[in-house]
Amino acid sequence: MKNIFLIAGKELKSYFASPIAYLLMAAFGLIFGFTFYVATRDMIRLSMQSQMMGQQQPMNVNDSIIRPLLGFAGTITLFLVPMITMRLIAEEKRTGTIELLLTSPVKDNEIILGKWLGAMLLFLCILGMSLINIAILFLWGKPDLQPVLVAYLGLILQGGCLLAIGEFISTTTRNQIIAGGVTFFVCLLLYLLNWFTAFDNGVVSQVVGYLSIVTHLDNFSKGLLSIKDVIFYFSMIFFALFLTSRSMESLRWRS
């Protein structure tokens, strides 16, 4: 347990020792801020228009700003994750520091969990940038808190799942570019899987749709916390980390 935190702390420090952490935080903050501005502006216009036309349609901050924005943040995650995970283990393999980790009295699983946790912490820092905008809504409006929390939980779970997949892919190569590229395409594929179900409701479609990370995130961003979706993310995280540990073990046999 101590080792997991030790490695996670080291990973987080490494991220902040290079420009990557600041770059990702700034980029995410910028894009999120931009979409926040657009969504808020449009909502204000729409509500003014509807008032002028005499319609008494109550506008809901949760539905018209927070939900689409946090849903969009889930999409940005696809781009963030490869950049976070590409170096995780590929870099250690390239510079040979993996030999230090694997010859220290630390279990493989502690290394894997530590690295995943470090990546998670950076992801949380990046996601934290969006709180600046959400805080503005809470200062001048009265959105419901609960659906916001659920949506964030969804984003965190989805992030954890994609980061675990990214970590697995990072163990398979010593080239960061390959690790990052493959991770991006795998994330994209998982994201697109729900297209499969758009006009088809067969068993295969249902299974494929279930595997899509978006289907589950949708529920979260609607503010629906269902145990089914939580279990989906946890099982995906567990499965990806399990693959990582297998892959780490095979490193020893092949390298």
Partner 1 sequence: MIKVEGLTKRYARTVAVDNISFEVEKGQIVGFLGPNGAGKTTTMRMLTCFLPPSEGKANVAGFDVVEHPMEVKRRIGYLPETPPVYPEMAVDEYLDFVGRLKGISNADIKRRVDDSVAKCALGDVREKLIGKLSKGYRQRVGLAQAIIHNPDVLILDEPTSGLDPKQIIEIRDLLRSLAGDHTIILSTHILPEVEQSCERVIIITQGRVVAMDTVANLTNRMRGSEAIAVEIESGAGNPTVSEAQQRLEQISGVSRVLAKEPKDGRLRFEIESLQGRQIRADLARAVVNAGWNLSELASVGSSLEDIFLQLTASEQKSALPAAPAEPETPAEVQPQ
Identity of the residue, 13 or 45, whose beta carbon is nearer to partner 1 in the bound complex: 13
The CB-of-45 to partner 1 minimum distance in angstroms stands at 39
Query: Which of 142, 254 has the CB closer to partner 1?
Result: 254
What is the smallest separation between the CB atom of 78 and partner 1, expressed in angstroms? 16
Q: Does 100 bind partner 1 (CB under 8 A)?
A: yes
Please say which residue, 67 or 93, places its beta carbon nearer to partner 1. 93
Decide whether 101 or 225 has the Cβ nearer to partner 1.
101
User: C-beta of 97: minimal distance to partner 1 in Å?
Assistant: 4
Which residue from 12, 83, 150, 248 is in contact with partner 1, where contact means CB under 8 A? 83
**Closer to partner 1 by Cβ: residue 6 or 224:** 6
Any alpha helices (H) in the chain, and if so which ranges?
2-17, 19-52, 61, 67-85, 90-95, 98-102, 108-140, 145-171, 176-192, 203-211, 213-221, 227-254
The answer to the question of residue 252 lying near partner 1 (CB under 8 A) is yes
Q: Between residues 173 and 194, which has the closer beta carbon with respect to partner 1?
A: 173
Does 51 participate in binding partner 1 (rule CB under 8 A)?
A: no
Contact between 54 and partner 1 (CB under 8 A)?
no
Amino acid in the structure at residue 23: L
161 binds partner 1 (CB under 8 A): no
Q: Which stretch binds partner 1 (CB under 8 A): 43-51, 100-108, 186-194, 218-226?
A: 100-108
Torsion angle of alpha carbons 234, 237, 238, 240, nearest 10°?
Answer: 150
Query: How far from 83 is each of 15, 36, 91, CA to CA, in Å?
Result: 11, 23, 13
Distance CA 255, CA 141 (A): 58
Q: How far is the CB of 28 from partner 1 (least distance, A)?
A: 15
Specify the long-range contacts of residues 10-14, CB closer than 8 Å, at least 24 apart.
Answer: 10/114, 10/118, 11/88, 11/114, 11/115, 11/117, 11/118, 11/119, 11/121, 11/122, 12/118, 12/121, 12/122, 14/118
Q: Sign of the C-alpha dihedral, residues 18, 23, 24, 25?
A: positive
Tokens 């903050």, located at residue? 29
Provide the binding-site residues for partner 1, judged by CB under 8 A. 2-3, 6-7, 10, 13-14, 17-20, 23, 83, 86-87, 95-107, 176, 180, 252-253, 255
